[in-house]
Amino acid sequence: MSELKLPVGPGDHVQGPRDAAITLVEYGDFECPFCGEAYPELKIVQRAMGNRLCFVFRNFPLSNMHPHAERAAEFAEGAATIGHFWEMHDLLYENQEALEQRNLTRYATELGLSHELIQSAIRGDFAERICRDFTGGVRSGVNGTPCLFINGRRFDGPATAAALLEVLRSFGED
Amino acid sequence: MPNSPSLLVAGQHAPDFTLRSTADQSVSLSELRGRPVVLVFYPADWSPVCSDQVSLYNELLSEFHTYGAQFLGISVDGVWCHAAFAGDRKLHFPLLADFEPKGAVARRYGVYEESDGVCQRALFVINADGVVRWRYVSPIGVNPGAEGILDALDKLSREPGQSL
């Protein structure tokens, strides 16, 4: 049914080979508890699939419901500019209960973001990028978070390692 | 039990209605002529799927507004339930109460679920002349997202006489 309208491109945050047989795209919100629950599950999936999987994260902050989500996404994008997107992604999901500005600033400092870069994230300088992810997600049929796409098709099953691995392994056999 | 009319289809006039949005305010569809209207029927305030669905639309209001569209949610919940739900989820669009007689508007649109006594999960995009241009009924447990609504608004904005 719903298909990814924005193909995975050079601007995306990816883990694993870009030419892997299977691409798993997550639209996520750093404050969303369901994304928080999916986080360790997706790690298991990545470890199990190894180089056969390219994992992509795109921003989908539901800012009215999750007041810290947009700012957290700004910090992740800020970290991305110095090559530390995934470290920040992991820190945010591992500390979902602590996403106040002072917490974000501490994670950023730990990862080596400069004062200027931190100010930039606080100002919202990455809003356009985040908005582009969000709008592309809406157009692709993202209806909540986390929303997963496997090789471009929306996956409507549960975001658990067991459910995902079953589907991903069947893809690999094609 | 009166027979429910069948589901409205594209090209039909959207039946007019007046429903309460708060204890002392009402919204009439006919008052909104001249701009597109997105009408979202959903089963219940507070239910998990509905909450995700309305929260998503809430994030997209600015997008809907770029088409000049008015966005309305409708369920059989009463105004005080709507007020509590909208407050809790920080919703910035009206929730209309199809409460008395229960589900009367949903019936006229052919989207009342008799067995459960709730609205179906149905989306209508109505043009500036009050004509249904697109509609979609989702399985009750599935959040339909917003892509269909945005595609319909895109098409609408290209229709003659519907430009903004």
Domains of chain A: 13-172 (3.40.30.10)
Kindly tell me if the per-residue pLDDT of B3 is higher than 70.
no
Cβ-defined contact of A143 to B146 (cutoff 8 Å): yes
Cis peptide, bond prior to residue B36, ω within 30 of zero = no
Fold of B18-158: Glutaredoxin (3.40.30)
% of chain A surpassing 70 pLDDT: 98
Residue B100 Cα, gap to closest chain A Cα (Å) = 30
Q: How is residue B54 written in tokens?
A: 């309305």
In degrees and rounded to multiples of 5, residue A138 shows phi and psi of -60, -45
> By mean pLDDT, which of A38-47, A164-173, B67-76 is the weakest?
A164-173
Of A62, A135, A138, the CB nearest to B55: A62
Structure ipTM: 0.76
User: Is the pLDDT assigned to residue A153 strictly greater than 60?
Assistant: yes
Q: Give me the mean pLDDT over the B118-134 stretch.
A: 96
Weakest-pLDDT range from A113-122, B50-59, B96-105: B50-59
The alpha carbon of B70 is separated from its chain's Cα centroid by a whole number of angstroms, namely 10
Q: Reply yes or no on whether B50 is catalytic.
A: yes
Report the residue from B89, B90, B144 with minimal CB separation from A143: B144
B38 neighbors B125 (Cβ within 8 angstroms): yes
The pair phi, psi for residue B21, each rounded to 5°, is -105, -25
Identify the pLDDT of residue B1. Answer: 44
CA-to-CA distance for B154 and B67, rounded, in angstroms?
A: 8
Count contacts between A and B (CB, < 8 Å): 46
Answer yes or no: is pLDDT of A97 > 50.
Answer: yes
For chain A, what is the mean pLDDT?
95
| Percent of chain A with pLDDT strictly greater than 90 | 92
- Per-residue pLDDT at A172 exceeds 70: no
Query: Tokens 């050079």 — which residue?
Result: A10
The tokens for A20 are: 């892997």
A17 has a pLDDT exceeding 50: yes
B122 and B145 Cβ atoms separated by less than 8 Å: no
DSSP annotation of A4 reads -
Tens of pLDDT along B74-105?
999 999 999 999 999 999 999 999 999 999 99
For the residues A81-85, what does the mean pLDDT come to? 97
Mean pLDDT of B3-30: 91
Contact at CB, B143 and A63, closer than 8 angstroms: no
Are A65 and B55 inside 8 Å of each other by CB?
Answer: yes
B4 by Cβ neighbours in 10 Å (0-12 / 13-18 / 19+) ranks as middle
pLDDT at B52 over 80: yes
Q: What pLDDT does residue A165 have?
A: 96
Binned at pLDDT 50, 70 and 90, residue A149 comes out as very high
What percent of chain B lies above the pLDDT cut of 70? Answer: 95
Query: Does residue A173 surpass a pLDDT of 80?
Result: no
User: In this structure, are residues B70 and B57 in contact, taking their beta carbons and an 8 Å threshold?
Assistant: no
Which tens digit of pLDDT belongs to each residue from B18-40? 999 999 999 999 999 999 999 99
Chain A hits for B61, CB-CB cut-off 8 Å, are none
Provide DSSP, B39-102: EEE-S-TT-HHHHHHHHHHHHTHHHHHHTT-EEEEEES--HHHHHHHHHHHT--S-EEE-BTTB
- Identify the pLDDT of residue B128: 95
Residue indicated by tokens 């305010």:
B25
pLDDT reported for residue B160: 75
pLDDT tens digits for A128-141?
A: 999 999 999 999 99
Distance from CA of B112 to the nearest CA of A (A): 23
Whether residues B90 and A138 touch (CB distance < 8 A) is answered with no
Report percent pLDDT > 90 for chain B.
82
The beta-carbon neighbor of A62 closest among B59, B143, B147 is B59
On the question of pLDDT at B164 being above 70, the answer is no
Query: Per-residue pLDDT tens for B132-156?
Result: 999 999 998 888 999 999 999 999 9
Q: Which chain B residues touch A141 with a CB distance below 8 Å?
A: 145, 147
Which of these is catalytic: B50, B79, B95, B128? Answer: B50
Residue B40 forms beta bridges with which residues?
B73, B123
* B155 Cα distance to chain centroid: 19
Strands B25-28 and B37-41, sheet pairing: unpaired
The residues spanned by each domain of chain B are 18-158
d(CA B97, CA B100): 8
How large is the angle between the packed helices A115-123 and A101-110, nearest 10 degrees? 140
